Amino acid sequence: MSSEEMLYAQGAKIWVPHAEQVWESATLEESYRKGAGFLKICTESGSLKEVKLKADGSDLPPLRNPAILVGQNDLTTLSYLHEPGVLHNLRVRFCERQIIYTYCGIILVAINPYAEMPLYGPSIIRAYRGHAMGDLEPHIFALAEEAYTKLERENCNLSIIVSGESGAGKTVSAKYAMRYFAAVGGSESETQVERKVLASSPIMEAFGNAKTTRNDNSSRFGKFTKLLFRNQMGVMYLQGATMHTYLLEKSRVVYQAQGERNYHIFYQLCAARSKYPELVLDHQDKFQFLNMGGAPEIERVSDADQFNETVQAMTVLGFSIQQIADIVKILAGILHLGNIQVSKKFNEGSEEEDTDSCDIFHNDIHLQITGDLLRVSAEDLRRWLLMRKIESVNEYVLIPNSIEAAQAARDALAKHIYAKLFQYIVGVLNKSLNNGSKQCSFIGVLDIYGFETFEVNSFEQFCINYANEKLQQQFNQHVFKLEQEEYLKEGITWTMIDFYDNQPCIDLIESRLGVLDLLDEECRMPKGSDESWAGKLIGKCSKFPHFEKPRFGTTSFFIKHFSDTVEYDVNGFLEKNRDTVSKELTQVLGESNMSLVKQVMTLEEIDTLSVDSAKSSTLGGRVVISAGRKQVVPSKQHRKTVGSQFQESLASLISTLHATTPHYVRCIKPNDDKIAFKWETAKIIQQLRACGVLETVRISAAGFPSRWLYPDFYMRYQLLVYRSKLDKNDMKQSCRNIVMKWIQDEDKYRFGNTQIFFRAGQVAFLEQVRANLRKKYITIVQSVVRRFIYRRRFLRLQMVISGIQRHARGFLARQRVWKMREARAGLILSKYARGWLCRRRYLRLRHSISGIQTYARGMMARSKFHAMRDHYRAVQIQRFVRGALARRAYQKRRRNIIICQAAIRRFLARRKFKRMKAEARTISHIENKYMGLENKIISMQQRIDELNRDNSNLKHKTSEISVLKMKLELKKTLEVEFKNVKAACQDKDRLIEALNKQLEAERDEKMQLLEENGHAQEEWISQKQTWRLENEELRRQIDEIIEMAKNAEVSQRNQEDRMLAEIDNRELNEAYQRAIKDKEVIETENYALKEELSRLTAGNFSLHGRKASNASSQNEDDVGYASAKNTLDINRPPDLLSKNYSYDTTSMVVKLRAILEEEKQKHKSLQEQYIKLASRHKPTEDSFRPACRAAGRGT
């Protein structure tokens, strides 16, 4: 039996073509025999069919993979590598298991789920960090980790190429890859870099993405982002990034198909128009450039919130507030430019229309707003929209534009402005992302448009498909190279694998006399047209096998691309390739008074990938900003066309990719309805063919696609040979014995160093053999087991039946006795039951009659009550209704009177308002407006005086504190002296004479103390004079500072506030330091006086007493530093002295606390007044606007 007969046995699963599902599963009803002309099959739907076959069996339908291989992570591990097998494996993973990622060799296939998936959080990033590709489920993070690990290990440049059609999720995949690199390549000191890299996505999506019929957030440009890494101690740290863009779809600015939108930023700006009243914006439906598609909204997306996110991201990436404001003005200017109305013009003196010219009204509001926003002359803008200049050798001629030509010039200018603005934004992003330091290596993330084919394909689709041809060629070469390297590493013999080479298609496009060459040549012709270029294509390119001419007409041509044959409509090719804009209009913008408009207009396009970064003066992307010298504007003859620029950029991109190690992500769009996990087979198979997945499968199938490690193969297929042929210590030889026994053709397998390589279908053949052997062995085991089970079941059944019979006979006897007992008991129970039933029936009847009577009487009483209550309520309702009608009439009359009063007051208020408005324009009003500045200076002088008073109060409080301390020490001394006085009183009579003598001596001492007091008073006066001079000096300094503040206030108010605050703090600190020093001096003097007083008291108090008549006549409230009150209080009576001292101390503390609280309140109120005064004279945005508007009208 041949291998085909064994595989195509009855019951085998196969795939057959289907009209709608592309492929349908079926089961063989009969086994295949060699030479048979047909196969009988039964499809999944239950229908029986016959499939015709060739005699040699070369067109046998593809077999289904074994169940063990269905749902594999890697498509190349399938036993049967063919289109239906790949499609079924993806469908099982996507629809049944809801897994969106699958490997296909080196490719990661990502299917857009159109639903939020919890697959991208920080925990997922940590889970994939450090794991090799294949250890965990397929994921974009696994591919990114593979690239980052290779970067760390080999320190080489890498790239990740993300492709797919619009809506397949390319932008999201590229965003998550960059998020992973930013997370694993960051450090604690460089979090700002990762923040900037992630913040660039909202900006690029706002300015470069738009809603299409296939995708709500479609990227309308190609983007190659280089993440720059630096090697630090063997670890790669992200230090910056650069961004390169390709082929922005400028035509979308002025035209959108039905169901599509313009770029997101325009709708975001209209949603946030309340923040920018100076832009004079309206709802998006009011602008010509925004209402063509008829779909201004995106479901579950807020344009206002997106605008806030965009502005926040621009702030993070270094855009200043002025730059953001200027960018917003340019965008608003583009919108108003699209609303400029070009009308018909009539010949003078007649109503005949002039078809060769047109007109734009001078008072066109949008024309004036465009001029104001872009800071250009509206009259010059109008002039060059209506006219064009044709230059000859020695002169130039002005020719009027028709309506169509004027509208085309207006649209070309809008596209040109937006394209230049986009280049400028990319440049600023690159300048912010790249700090200029030397990087070690980079990882490039390419987010490129996928292969496109529509009903009408134009120049944009041609460039996109051309780029995909180049990328597919690079992909095929890389896949082929990896396949051959794998064979060399395993040391097996191999032959050259034939794969599709699309170089002939690329030659058709870019070779001499190819499509692009003929297009550029036609663009250089003065009278070149799309039709003449199409004729040249048919004449020159018919020799290329990938070129086809149309059957009818010459307005289109066909190119056989690697994935499909595409028909291109030639209309618009030349205009889009030239990308011309009026030189005079660009000069008008170049003379703008807005610096950003000038800067944007001087940008020139270069290819940064092909220029050495050390010599490049670019900000990044594809632009360079002219800083010092005027750029030379190229002429029409020497200006590069869009096609040639794109060809050069694409060549540099391919060379960059060849210099890196690429990784591929192919994004698949499962359906056009954007429904979660909906599977459309026809659409998906077309994308698999276009993105190279099936080509990878075909290359793998041409070699040895199935590969098994020796241990895995041994464990699964060891039962295919006898035990004598198996040796666990030599698994390689054991596996060789297994393979050689069942596969006779040596070309079907190869033995490598670590793996066994099989050609397509051989693993399935071994699986079939294994299944047959297992079936045979299992049948034998089952027969023995079934005999044992049925015998044991019979013995158990026999024993159970004997027991059941025994118990059944006893049960029947017991049932007979039980029935006899029940019959006797039933008679007794029925007798008592009948009596009980009769009694219960009688009692129920009596209870029912009583209840009926009760409810009847109650119902009659309630009906009478209800009638009385209704009469009463009717009377009340009439009373309230009459009152309500009277009040309503009164309220209506009063409201009419109030309306009349309000009208009269409104008339008077309007007249007063007009009078006040007229007065506001007079000079006196302006003088009153600035009178507040003088008041501010006066208030500041008052504040300084109050601070001086606060300083003197603080000094006075310091003196009071020292006196209180001295009194406290004196009290302690007096307590000791009081005991001595008691003893001295007993000898009072004997000491009277001695005291009289001592009195004279004490008077002399008193005079001495008074003299010392006079000296201390003089010192205090001199100290006060010194303080007064210091205060005057401070006042003079403050006056000078106030004069300086007056001069500085005009130039810079903020700096004056800081200076005043510093001066106030310094003066307060100096005054506080001086007060502390004075306090220390006074405490020192006080301590010396106390020592002298203690000495005098110890020598004299025991000899005499002081009477009140001998005391000084000074006031008791004098508690100054030089007061003699402290010396006179010594001879007071002890009880009076203690009482007065306690009273003075308590009152002094209370007064001191009251003074402190009062000073705190004063200081707090002064500080609040100062803050209010400062905030009142602080300039605001509203105060600047009238002046700015006046200046704008003046200019």
User: Three-class SS string for 182-224?
Assistant: HHHCCCHHHHHHHHHHHHHHHHHHHHHEECCCCCCCEECCEEE
Report whether pLDDT(1149) > 60.
Answer: no
Question: How far is the C-alpha of 666 from the C-alpha of 163, rounded, in Å?
Answer: 5
Q: Residue 521 in 3-state DSSP?
A: helix
Tokens 């006086």 belong to which residue? Answer: 1089
Cβ(1108)–Cβ(984) below 8 Å: no
Q: Residue 640: pLDDT above 60?
A: yes
DSSP 3-state of 309: helix
pLDDT, tens digit (0-9, with 9 covering 90-100), for 879-893: 999 999 999 999 999
What integer is the mean pLDDT of 156-177?
Answer: 84
DSSP code of residue 496: P
Main-chain dihedrals φ then ψ at residue 220, nearest 5 degrees = -105, 30
For residue 712, which amino acid is it? D
Average of pLDDT values for 753-757?
Answer: 83
Task: Specify the range with the lowest mean pLDDT, choosing from 298-312, 639-653, 992-1006, 1055-1069.
Answer: 1055-1069
Instruction: Report percent pLDDT > 90 for the chain.
Output: 16
If you write DSSP's letter for every residue of 609-620 in order, what string do you get?
GGS-TTT--EEE
Verdict on whether the full-model pTM lies above 0.75: no
| Tens-place pLDDT, residues 71-109 | 888 887 787 778 888 888 899 999 988 999 998 877 899
b/e sequence 730-766, b meaning 16+ C-beta within 10 Å: ebbebbbbbbeeebeeeebbbbbeebbbbbbbbbbbb
Distances (CA, A) of 403 to 344, 358, 366: 7, 5, 17
Instruction: Kindly report the number of other CB atoms within 10 A of residue 80's CB atom.
Output: 22
pLDDT of residue 265 exceeding 70: yes
C-alpha dist (Å) from residue 201 to 233, 306, 447 = 30, 12, 12
Pick from 662, 715, 350, 198: which is nearest to 476 by CA? 662
Q: Would you state the pLDDT for residue 869?
A: 92
Question: What is the tens place of the pLDDT at every residue in 913-967?
Answer: 888 888 777 766 666 666 666 677 777 788 888 888 888 888 887 777 878 788 8
Strands 565-569, 556-560: pairing kind: antiparallel
Residues contacting residue 582 through CB under 8 Å, at least 6 positions apart: 384, 388, 409, 412, 413
Q: Is 901 exposed, middle or buried (0-12, 13-18, 19+ CB in 10 A)?
A: exposed
Per-residue pLDDT for 195 more than 90?
no
Q: Which residues contact 629 (CB under 8 A, 6 or more apart)?
A: none
What CA–CA distance (Å, rounded) separates 280 from 335? 11
Q: Is the pLDDT of residue 525 over 60?
A: yes
Q: What is the average pLDDT value for the chain, to the nearest integer?
A: 79
- The strands making up 556-560's β-sheet, listed across from edge to edge, are 547-548, 556-560, 565-569
Q: Averaging pLDDT over each range in 51-60, 257-266, 948-957, which range is the top one?
A: 257-266
Nearby residues of 381 by Cβ (< 8 Å), 6 or more positions away: 367, 370, 371, 585, 588
β 556-560/547-548 pair status: antiparallel
Q: What is the mean pLDDT of residues 495-507?
A: 72
Mean pLDDT, range 209-225, rounded to an integer: 83
Confidence of residue 616 (pLDDT cuts 50, 70, 90): very low
Round to whole Å and give the CA distance between 102 and 86: 11
- Residue in 1156, 1163, 1157, 1158 with CA at minimum distance from that of residue 1064: 1163
Residue 1074: C-alpha distances to residues 954, 1027, 1067, 1071 (Å)? 11, 9, 11, 5
- Sequence length of the chain is 1195
pLDDT value of residue 1127:
34
Q: 27: part of which helix (H) or strand (E)?
A: strand 22-28
**pLDDT > 70 fraction of the chain, expressed in percent and rounded:** 80
Three-class SS state of 565: strand
Q: Which H or E run includes 800?
A: helix 762-920
The CA-based diameter of the chain, rounded to the nearest angstrom, is 164
Between 585 and 1063, the more confident residue is 585
Q: Is the pLDDT of residue 1184 over 60?
A: no
Instruction: Give the pLDDT score at 1104.
Output: 39
pLDDT at 233 over 80: no
* Three-state DSSP class for residue 109: strand
CA distance 196 to 317: 6
Nearest residue to 531 via CA among 581, 569, 567: 569
Q: Strand 618-620 vs strand 623-624: parallel, antiparallel, or unpaired? A: antiparallel
- What is the pLDDT at residue 881? 93
Residues 69, 78 contacting (CB under 8 angstroms) = yes
Distance CA 247, CA 563 (A): 22
- Judged against a pLDDT cut of 80, whether residue 1120 lies above it is answered with no
Which pLDDT score, from 0 to 100, does residue 933 have? 62
Q: At residue 279, what is the residue type? A: L
Residue 1169 and residue 1148: Cα distance in Å, rounded?
31
Burial of 1085 (0-12, 13-18, 19+ CB in 10 A): middle
Which residue's entry shows tokens 């009289």? Answer: 996
Q: Is 237 helix (H, G, I), strand (E, B) or coil?
A: strand
The top-scoring range by mean pLDDT among 31-35, 234-238, 862-866 is 862-866
**Range name among 3-17, 445-459, 1142-1156 with the lowest pLDDT average:** 1142-1156
Strand ranges for 635-744 from DSSP E: 661-668, 706-709
Residue 582 in contact with residue 539, Cβ under 8 Å?
Answer: no
Helix, strand, coil percent content, the chain, rounded in steps of 5: 60, 10, 25
Q: Please give the structure tokens belonging to residue 579.
A: 């990308």
Residue 299 has pLDDT above 60, yes or no: yes
Q: What pLDDT digit, counting tens, does each position of 687-742 carry?
A: 887 776 776 676 666 667 677 788 888 888 888 888 888 888 888 888 888 888 88
Mean pLDDT of the region 970-989: 76
What pLDDT does residue 309 have? 92
**pLDDT score recorded for residue 1092:** 63
299-308, 336-345, 438-447: segment of lowest average pLDDT: 438-447
Tokens 């794109």 locate to 646
Least Cα distance to 1134 among 970, 963, 969, 964 occurs for: 970
Q: In terms of DSSP bridges, do strands 101-104 and 107-111 run parallel, antiparallel, or are they unpaired? A: antiparallel
Compute the average pLDDT of residues 1008-1027: 83
The pLDDT value given to residue 904: 94
Using an 8 Å Cβ cutoff, are 1036 and 948 in contact? no
38, 149, 179, 241, 761 from 198: Cα distances, Å: 60, 21, 7, 11, 46
Q: Which amino acid is at 1037?
A: Q
pLDDT at 390 over 50: yes
> CB burial class (10 A; 0-12, 13-18, 19+) of residue 855?
exposed
Which of the four pLDDT bands, split at 50, 70 and 90, describes residue 1188? very low
Helices 403-433/583-590 angle, 10° precision? 50
pLDDT at residue 721, rounded to an integer:
85
Q: Do the Cβ atoms of 376 and 597 come closer than 8 Å?
A: yes
Distance, in Å, from the CA atom of 953 to the CA atom of 972, rounded to the nearest integer, reads 29
Mean pLDDT of 820-839: 90
- Average pLDDT of span 808-829: 90
